[in-house]
Amino acid sequence: MESESLTRSLRQEIMLARRRIYEVGQATPLESIELEDLTIFVKREDLSPIHAYKWRGAYNRMAQL
């Protein structure tokens, strides 16, 4: 029961962070790379305006202050 509550709380926090971040940023594509017997998914943060993923966490934290 406690685990479900924690999971629900964590999911809610993730969705709130997502809303805060996408108010100022844009989604970047998820692309797949096909190898012999393997598919690798790559989140293309290099296509964002500042070419980095680290701003999301920093912005989310500052927006909560």
12-61 tens-digit pLDDT: 999 999 999 888 888 889 999 999 999 999 999 888 878 877 888 889 99
What does the block give as tokens for 13? 């926090």
In the three-class reduction of DSSP (H, G, I as helix; E, B as strand; rest coil), residue 18 is classed as helix
C-alpha count within 13 angstroms, C-beta hemisphere, residue 17: 14
Q: In this structure, what DSSP letter does residue 50 have?
A: T
Please, which pLDDT band fits residue 8 given cuts at 50, 70 and 90?
A: very high
Task: Please state the separation of Cα 58 from the chain's center in Å.
Answer: 12
Residue 3 pLDDT: 83
As for how many domains the chain has, the answer is 1
Boundaries of domain holding 50: 2-64
Confidence of residue 1 (pLDDT cuts 50, 70, 90): low
Give the N- to C-terminal CA distance of the chain in Å, as an integer: 31
Model confidence, pTM: 0.62
